[in-house]
A and B are shown apart, each in its own frame.
Chain A
Amino acid sequence: MTNSAAVVNDLRVNRGGRDVLKGITFKIESGTVTGLLGPSGCGKTTLMRALVGVQIVEGGEITVLGKPAGHKELRSRIGYATQNPAIYPDITVTEALTYFASVLRAPASDVSRVIDEVDLTSHADAIIGQLSGGQLSRANLAVALLGKPELLILDEPTVGLDPVLRDELWKLFTELSQRGVTLLVSSHVMDEATRCEHLLLLREGDLLASESPDELRDRTGETDLERAFLRLIKDTVP
């Protein structure tokens, strides 16, 4: 048995004639928070979609929770939140979550649990289309937390949130990982990298680093992760 939640080997994705992922290889250890970082357009979302199994890939192997990515058994074991909210705008937060909970065959009590976890209790009966941007992205995140996901794949979950909420969500992520849930969280904000146990740095479809923040600091001789990332880019680009 493996203690890797995901093993990716030489993953290549081509979208519309452009190589979006150029053969990347890495592992995600179970029960950790892994940060997926890189500038916008570097392939973060494509990589996440490939792990969820909704991306047509050109080559390489992806094993997620011991199964090939996209295996139907994985559909109730992975929680996925896209960057653009994928949630019905014309019904209330509770109504939408109740629906997704039934699809996942999760208990009805899950709905109020996840609403509480993303701090939307005061807006539980609000129509989703009338929520603010930050509330909307939290409602979107709540869907991914329904049921008992073993792996959470969260695409920019903290975008547009104020620092207090961001801090609370990161506390939630840490708490989830202590319960044994594996998290892959993408961000283009470097200060969120310090919250992760492991980092994947992606640039233009290449994986520049797959290591812990400390290893990255040691390797580059920089204390600041943003500067460390810049140093890596300078060193790899001829």
Chain B
Amino acid sequence: MTVMNPAITLATTRRILTQLRHDHRTLALMIIMPSLLLTLLRYVFNDEQTFSRAAPALLAVFPFAIMFIVTSVTTLRERTTATLERLMTLPLAKLDLLFGYAIAFGLIAIAQVAVATTISLTWLGLSITGSVWLLGAIAVLDALLGTALGLFASAFARTEFQAVQFMPAFVMPQVLLCGLFAPRDSMATVLDWISDVMPLSYAVDALTQVTHSTEVDGTLVKNLLIVAGCALAALVLGAATLRRRTP
């Protein structure tokens, strides 16, 4: 196993950001889309209080879903254009590539979440009890989780058409079961169990807690560690799916 090299990881990040810089439309969509959706939701409820109840969870869900789909398609493109095969012949560790992607999309996620949180807190009237910075940090962590799962999922797609369909397969069940539509403990027992093994549930729990309380307790830390652990595990599993030798 080749050892990671920070210089190569960061060169990969820079290359991915350069690709995005040339693609203004994608970059704009990535940064603005969660904010647009949240704005839409605000006027769907047409009431600040109802919006304030749902918005924190959606600050996790929208960046998570968008990052998942963008990452899985981008990495698949790396596979189908044969640049992945070329990289596998070069002195680059598999984790250099995956962390390169994670850092690049993590930076985009910071911009995305910053815009969405600012608009929600000011214009849309979201009010939270806990720290705004913690809210933002959790939302970025969720976007990173989406990125990591997207990197992992792209290994199972042969075409971009398949990759796009992993969105309903990987993301939608997590969104439905994360406690956004109904409290998790009120769901059918089996679904409650399933929601217990889905990382997004912990992300939404953490955000809900920050919304209602200023306390940073063991549960919050545990929830965040689970989300971060899942993101890291997805990256390592993603690296395991990359092959230097192919048939």
Binding site for B on A (CB under 8 A): 15-16, 52-56, 70, 72, 75-76, 78, 80, 82, 84-91, 95-96, 99-100, 102-105, 127, 143
Contact = CB atoms under 8 A, between A and B. Distances in A.
A187 to B, nearest CB: 20
Nearest to A78: B89
A80 B92 CA distance: 15
Given A16-B247, A82-B82, A54 B18 contact: no
Nearest to A79: B89
Interface string B203-244: 000000000000000000000000000000000000000001
Contacts of A104: 90-91
Chain B interface residue number, banded: 20 to 34
Contacts of B12: 99, 103
A88 B85 contact: no
Given A72-B2, A76-B91, A99-B12, A91 B18 contact: yes
B246 interface: yes
B50 interface: no
A118 to B, nearest CB: 16
Contacts of B244: 53-54, 70
B87 interface: yes
B247 A56 contact: yes
A88 B15 contact: yes
Interface in B52-102: 81-83, 85-92
Given A72-B2, A91-B22, 8 more contacts: A76-B91, A86-B82, A90-B19, A95-B15, A103-B90, A104-B90, A104-B91, A105-B7
B56 to A, nearest CB: 35
A70 B245 contact: yes
Nearest to A52: B89
A127 B21 CA distance: 12
Please indicate which of the listed interface residues B19, B83, B88, B246 has the most CB atoms of chain A within 10 Å of its own CB: B83
Given A55-B245, A70-B245, A75-B89, A87 B11 contact: no
A86 B22 contact: no
A66 B81 CA distance: 31
Interface string B1-27: 010000110011011001100110000
Contact of A91 (B19, B90, B91): B19
A91 B15 contact: yes
Contacts of A55: 245-247
Given A90-B19, A91-B15, A80 B86 contact: yes
A127 B19 CA distance: 10
Please indicate which of the listed interface residues A76, A102, A103 has the most CB atoms of chain B within 10 Å of its own CB: A103
Contacts of A99: 11-12, 14-15, 18
27 contacts: A15-B247, A54-B85, A54-B89, A54-B246, A55-B247, A72-B2, A75-B90, A80-B86, A82-B86, A84-B82, A86-B83, A88-B81, A90-B23, A91-B15, A91-B19, A91-B22, A99-B11, A99-B14, A99-B18, A102-B8, A103-B11, A103-B87, A104-B90, A104-B91, A105-B7, A127-B22, A143-B86
A80 B89 CA distance: 8
B82 A72 contact: no
Contacts of B246: 54-56
Contacts of B82: 82, 84-86
Please indicate which of the listed interface residues A76, A84, A102 has the most CB atoms of chain B within 10 Å of its own CB: A102
A144 to B, nearest CB: 9
Nearest to B87: A103
A86 B79 CA distance: 10
Contacts of B81: 86, 88-89
A135 B132 CA distance: 51
A95 B15 CA distance: 8
4 smallest beta-carbon distances between A and B, as pairs: A102-B11, A86-B82, A99-B15, A86-B86
A56 B8 CA distance: 27
Given A102-B7, A103-B92, A88 B245 contact: no
B24 to A, nearest CB: 11
B245 A100 contact: no
A103 B46 CA distance: 52
